Amino acid sequence: MRFGLGARIVATIAGILLATLAAIESGSTHLETRIVAAPAAAQPAMPAVAELAGWFAARHSWVGADARLARLSHPLYVSVVVSGGRVRAASQPRFDGAVATVDSGGTLSLSLPPSAPSMPSARSAASAGEPRSEELKFTGLAGRPIVVNGTVAGRLYVIPSPSLLPRAIPSPPDAAFRRRFMVVFLLVSAFALLVAILLATYIVKPIRELTVAAQTASSAALPRVPARAGDEIGDLARAFNALGERLMRSEAARRDLVSDVAHELRTPLTNVRCALEAFQDGIDEPSPQALRAVLADVLLLQRLVTDLHELSIGDSASPSLERVPTDILGEVRSAVAAFGDRALARNVRIEVVAPEPAQLVACDPARVRQVLHNLLENALRYGRPGGCVAVEITPGRQGVRVAVKDDGDGFAASDEAPIFERFHRLDASRSRSTGGSGLGLAIAKQLIETQGGRIGASGGSGRGATVWFTLPSALA
């Protein structure tokens, strides 16, 4: 049988109550017999106190005085020597070592140790093995001091023998008290179990809602669970809802990515297929111009696959980056030099604006060069022929800002954020004709943010576009 969390809470409370009842019940089995006796009118003569004092003076101890008291005492009475709150010597062994107290009224109380032999009446009232104590009280006794060298070594008392004492009748358990105790215990138990059931329901209900929501979740919809409480259960529900929202966004992004990839692959694949079928059927000749067109589509496919691979590395785990102090001005100049031929072909001038001395940033040089290549390629693609592309480096308190500016048509302010989304194009037809995959800025954003930087874009229609990124300073 499987026990849920609620049943375990109720069972725990019930177990605590039963253990409490068992402890109280076992403690109530202690049997206590008290005998209160007054001595007979005629008291026997006490043993000679002077003889006991001499005996103690010779030995400085009451050890062994029991036999001396037994010879001096009356057969029907028990002589005891009390010192330091205990019986130090007695004419009968059962009283030796008993705890002795004398109150202001002269009442002598003797508490026999549990190991002492039980009196006959007490033995018949309790079963064997039960713990019991016997307390005897004697009123009207006058103890005589035993003085040794001016110091009281003890007091001598003579008490009746057990055969002269009244019959010891153990008091039966208080039935009325037990009934009251059981009634109170049952009421407390019922209240405790009711609280346990309500508490278990309160705790288990939101967990069951979470379980149902998780079991009924699908890729199309993830149910929300109410997060009413402000405790750990409420935190769990809110975390579950946040997880569901992230999963739904991730699922939507996955569907969009699959759709975009299929759309991007369809056009170049169709072009390649049509060209090859035309070559095969003899409709067209594989002229150098036709082969160049097929090669352009193949290169576009290759670039798209490469970009998708870069994105998949960043999505699956953080790319392997080395954060080393890097001369950002040197990296910018190296990237600009690599685009010299393409800039010359479009009659575009690339300028680098940077203060001296060189600024050091903490980054991965290879990844920064990849970002600079993406930004410079876009600037040359969308800039005006015969125009200018500027790369500005601006040092700051916490890092360095690098901005790539072109003098093309720019874009509207509403496109500043979507420009870094995957497959986003400001002009789809122009982008495809120039060979763009729509993934370059998405890759650049991923690489910059992984290195602790930020990236953004700005530009007005007809005033060119600016794409900038920041990297943390190597000295920060």
Domain boundary among 298, 316, 334: 316
- Which residues have CB under 8 Å from 144's CB, separation 6+? 46, 49, 155, 156
For residues 200, 201, 207, 208, the Cα torsion angle rounded to the nearest 10 degrees is: 130
Q: How far is the C-alpha of 136 from the C-alpha of 87, rounded, in Å? A: 13
- Confidence check: pLDDT of 258 > 80: no
Share of the chain above pLDDT 70, in %: 74
List the domain range (segments joined by +) for residue 360.
324-472
Spatial contact of 322 and 364, defined as CB atoms under 8 Å apart: yes
Q: What tens digit of pLDDT does each residue of 374-390 get?
A: 898 888 888 888 889 99
Q: Which among 65, 263, 35 has a CA at the least distance from the CA of 165?
A: 35
Residue 467 maps to a domain: yes
User: Tokens representing 102?
Assistant: 């004398």
Residue 415 maps to a domain: yes
- Which residues have CB under 8 Å from 420's CB, separation 6+? 441, 442, 444, 445, 455, 457
Same structural domain for residues 187 and 269?
A: no
Same structural domain for residues 24 and 72?
A: no
Q: What tens digit of pLDDT does each residue of 338-359 get?
A: 888 888 888 999 999 988 777 7
Q: The CATH number of the domain where 279 resides is what?
A: 1.10.287.130
Same structural domain for residues 164 and 284?
A: no
Residue 224 maps to a domain: no
Mean pLDDT of 239-253: 79
Q: The CATH number of the domain where 402 resides is what?
A: 3.30.565.10
Q: How far is the C-alpha of 450 from the C-alpha of 159, rounded, in Å? A: 98
Same structural domain for residues 271 and 295?
A: yes
In the prediction, which pLDDT does 402 show? Answer: 93
Spatial contact of 435 and 415, defined as CB atoms under 8 Å apart: no
Record the pTM: 0.45
Residue 410 maps to a domain: yes
Domain boundary among 262, 287, 316: 316
Q: What tens digit of pLDDT does each residue of 395-435 get?
A: 887 789 999 999 887 776 655 556 777 666 555 444 444 44
| 26, HSE (Cβ side, Cα atoms, 13 Å) | 6
Same structural domain for residues 285 and 356?
A: no
Q: How far is the C-alpha of 440 from the C-alpha of 424, rounded, in Å? A: 10
Residue 225 maps to a domain: no
Same structural domain for residues 362 and 302?
A: no
Q: What tens digit of pLDDT does each residue of 266-290 get?
A: 767 888 888 888 888 888 888 888 8
User: Tokens representing 25?
Assistant: 């019940």
Computed over every residue of the chain, the mean pLDDT equals 76
In the prediction, which pLDDT does 31 show? Answer: 44
In the prediction, which pLDDT does 339 show? Answer: 85
In the prediction, which pLDDT does 460 show? Answer: 65
Domain boundary among 137, 156, 172: 172
Same structural domain for residues 149 and 198?
A: no
- Confidence check: pLDDT of 183 > 80: yes
Same structural domain for residues 199 and 286?
A: no
For residues 207, 208, 212, 214, the Cα torsion angle rounded to the nearest 10 degrees is: 20
Same structural domain for residues 66 and 136?
A: yes
Number of domains in the chain: 4
Residue 431 maps to a domain: yes
* Inter-CA distances, 64 with 87, 154, 209, Å: 13, 15, 81
In the prediction, which pLDDT does 44 show? Answer: 63
In the prediction, which pLDDT does 45 show? Answer: 65
| Identity at 63, one-letter amino acid code | V
